Chains A and B, each alone.
Chain A
Amino acid sequence: MKLPLSWIRDYVDIKISPEELAMKLTFAGLEVEQMEYIGLPRPAGSRATGERPELAWDRDKIFVGEILEVKQHPNADRLTLVRVDASRGADAPIEMVTGAPNIKVGGSGYKVALALEGSRLYDGHKPGWELATLKKSKIRGIESGSMVCSEKELAISDEHEGIILLPDDAPVGTPLADYLGDIVLDIKINPNMARCASVIGIAREIAALTGAKLKPVPQKMIAQGAPIEDQVKIVIKNAELNPRFTAALIRGIEIKPSPFWMQRRLLMAGMRPISNIVDATNYIMIEVGQPLHAFDYDKLVARAAGSPPTIITRLAEPGEVLETLDGVKHKLDPFNILVCDTRGSLSIGGIMGGAESEVDANTKNVLLEAAAWEYINIRRTMASQKIASEAGYRFSRGVHPAQASVGLKRAIELMRELGGGEIAKGIIDEYPNKPKKIVINLPVVEVKRQLGVEIPAKQIVKMLEALEFKIQNSKFKGKHATRNTQHATVLRVTVPDHRLDVDGTDDLVEEIARMYGYENIPISRMDDELPPQRANVDLEQEEYVRDLLVDAGLQDVVTYRFTTPEREALLTIPGSPRPAIPQREYVRIENAISADRSVLRQSLIPNLLDLTAANLRYRPRVAVFEIGPVFWMRGADDALLPREVATELPEDKGIRLPLERRRLAIVLTGARGEIAWQGADTTPVDFYDLKGVVETLLAGLHLTNASFVASSNPLFHPGRGAQVKVGDVVIGEFGELHPVVRDAERFDLPAQAVLVGEFDLDALFACVTAAYKTTALSRYPGVAQDLALIVDENVPADRVHALIAQTGGALLQRATLFDVYRGDQIAQGKKSLAYALTFQSADRTLSDADASKVREKIVARLKREIGAEVRGAG
Chain B
Amino acid sequence: MINELNALRANALEQLAHVWDDSALEQWRITFLGRSGALAAAMTKLGMLAREERPAAGKLANEVKTALESAFEAKIGAIKQRALSESLESEPLDITLPGRPIQRGRLHPANANLREIYRIWRDMGFQIFLSRETESDEVNFQMLNIPPHHPARDNWSTFYVADTDHRVLLRPHTSPGQIRAMRELGANGTQPVRVILPGMCYRYEQASVRYDIQFNQVEGLAVGRNITFADLKGTLTEFARRAFGERPVRFYADHFPFTEPSAQMDVQCIICNGAGCALCKYTGFLEILGSGMVHPVVLRNGGYDPDEWSGFAFGLGPERIAMLRYSIEDIRYFWGNDLRFLEQF
Contacts and interface: CB of A to CB of B under 8 A. Distances in A.
B106 A550 contact: yes
B224 A528 contact: yes
A557 B342 contact: yes
For the side of the interface on B, what is the size category?
A: 35 or more
B253 A518 contact: yes
A525 B260 contact: no
B200 A615 contact: no
Contact of A676 (B101, B110, B139): B101
B7 to A, nearest CB: 56
Interface in B90-130: 97-98, 100-101, 103-108, 110-111, 115, 125, 127-130
B318 to A, nearest CB: 12
Contacts of B224: 526, 528-529, 531
Contacts of B100: 676, 678, 680
Contacts of B343: 555
B193 interface: yes
A648 to B, nearest CB: 9
A519 B337 contact: no
A387 interface: no
Nearest to A646: B184
Contacts of A593: 159, 204-207, 213
A529 B225 contact: yes
Given A451-B228, A530-B125, A589-B170, A649 B213 contact: no
Nearest to A511: B261
B162 to A, nearest CB: 4
A657 B134 contact: yes
B184 A647 contact: yes
Interface in B211-230: 213-214, 222, 224-230
A453 B106 CA distance: 47
Interface stretch (B15-23, B39-47, B78-86, B234-242): B234-242
Interface in A636-657: 646-647, 649, 651-652, 655-657
B180 A647 contact: yes
Contacts of B162: 588-590
Given A524-B228, A589-B162, A591-B159, A557 B234 contact: no
Of B105, B162, B185, most A-chain CB atoms within 10 Å:
B105
Interface stretch (A283-291, A535-543, A831-839): A535-543
B253 A29 contact: yes
A474 interface: no
A656 to B, nearest CB: 5
B214 A452 contact: no
A504 interface: yes
Contact of B134 (A376, A523, A587): A587
Contacts of A614: 337-338
Interface in B176-195: 179-180, 183-185, 191-194
A396 B337 contact: no
Contacts of B52: none
A244 interface: no
For the side of the interface on A, what is the size category?
A: 35 or more
Interface in A720-775: none
B219 to A, nearest CB: 15
B105 A45 contact: no
Nearest to B112: A556
Interface string A592-633: 110001001000000000010011001100111000010100
B180 A524 contact: no
Contacts of A29: 252-255, 262
A369 B307 CA distance: 44
A539 B111 CA distance: 12
B194 A531 contact: yes
B151 A452 contact: no
A507 B253 CA distance: 13
Given A509-B261, A556-B111, A589-B170, A528 B213 contact: no
Contacts of B327: none
B306 to A, nearest CB: 8
Given A507-B260, A557-B342, A591 B337 contact: no
B295 A561 contact: no
A677 B97 contact: yes
Given A555-B343, A558-B111, A623-B105, A524 B230 contact: yes
A49 interface: yes
B233 A523 contact: yes
A700 interface: no
A450 B230 CA distance: 8
Nearest to B294: A506
Contacts of A106: none
Interface stretch (A77-85, A191-199, A703-711): A191-199
A660 B133 contact: yes
Interface in A664-701: 673-674, 676-678, 680
A555 B229 contact: no
Of A26, A396, A452, A543, most B-chain CB atoms within 10 Å:
A452
Nearest to B275: A45
B63 interface: no
Given A521-B230, A549-B105, A559 B337 contact: yes
B130 to A, nearest CB: 6
Contacts of A193: 255
B234 A27 contact: no
A475 interface: no
B108 A452 contact: no
Given A191-B257, A538-B130, A656-B163, 12 more contacts: A192-B152, A451-B261, A453-B229, A518-B233, A524-B230, A530-B192, A536-B128, A546-B107, A591-B159, A651-B136, A652-B136, A674-B101
23 contacts: A27-B253, A31-B252, A380-B149, A451-B230, A453-B230, A504-B296, A510-B260, A513-B261, A524-B230, A531-B193, A531-B194, A550-B105, A553-B105, A555-B342, A558-B111, A558-B335, A558-B337, A589-B160, A593-B213, A619-B339, A655-B168, A657-B134, A676-B98
Interface of A: 26-29, 31, 45-47, 49, 190-194, 375-377, 379-380, 383, 396-398, 448-453, 479, 504, 506-507, 509-510, 513-514, 518-519, 521-534, 536, 538-539, 543, 546, 549-562, 587-593, 597, 600, 611, 614-615, 618-619, 622-624, 629, 631, 646-647, 649, 651-652, 655-658, 660, 673-674, 676-678, 680
Interface of B: 97-98, 100-101, 103-108, 110-111, 115, 125, 127-136, 138-139, 143, 147-152, 154-155, 159-164, 166-168, 170, 179-180, 183-185, 191-194, 200, 202, 204-207, 213-214, 222, 224-231, 233-235, 237-238, 250-255, 257, 260-263, 276, 281-282, 293, 295-296, 307, 310, 334-335, 337-340, 342-343
Pick the 7 closest A-B CB pairs, nearest first: A452-B228, A452-B230, A29-B253, A528-B224, A190-B255, A550-B105, A510-B261
